[in-house]
Amino acid sequence: MSVLQFLTTVHFGDGKRDQLPALLAQSNVGKPLFVTDRGVIRAGVFAQATEHVAGADAMPVFDDTPVNPTEAAAAAGAALYKHSGCDGVVGIGGGAALDLAKAIAVLATHEPPLWNYCNRHAKPAPIDRAPPLILLPTTAGTGSEVGRSAVIVFDNGIKAGVRCPDLVTAAICDPELTHGLPPSITASTGMDALAHCIETYCSPTVNPPADAISLDGMQRIFRHLERAVAGGTDPEARWNMMMGSLEGAISFQKGMGAVHALSHPLGARGFHHGTLNAILLPPVLRANREALGDKWAMMLRQAGWPGDADFAAGIARLNAAIGIPARLRDIGVKQDCLAEVAGQALEDNAHKTNPRLLAQADYLAILESAY
pLDDT the model gives residue 268: 95
Mean pLDDT by 10 residues, the chain (371 residues): 68 96 98 97 97 96 96 98 98 97 98 96 95 98 94 96 94 96 97 98 96 98 98 95 96 95 97 97 98 98 97 98 98 98 97 98 98 98
Task: Give the pLDDT score at 103.
Answer: 98
Evaluate the omega torsion of the peptide bond into residue 131 and state whether it is cis, within 30 degrees of 0.
no
The domain limits of the chain are 10-178, 183-370
Q: Which of 98, 109, 83, 97 is nearest to 31 (CA)?
A: 83
Q: How high is the pLDDT of residue 6?
A: 67
Kindly list the distances between the CA atom of residue 157 and the CA atoms of 109, 160, 267, 269, 275, in Å, as whole numbers in the listed order.
24, 10, 10, 8, 20
pLDDT value of residue 5: 53
Yes or no: say if 177 and 136 are a contact pair by the CB < 8 Å rule.
yes
Domain 183-370 class in CATH? mainly alpha
What pTM does this model have? 0.95
pLDDT in the model for residue 241: 98
The reported pLDDT for the residue numbered 112 is 97
pLDDT number for residue 7 = 76
CATH code matching the domain that covers 10-178, chosen among 3.40.50.1970, 3.40.228.10, 2.60.120.10, 3.40.50.2000:
3.40.50.1970
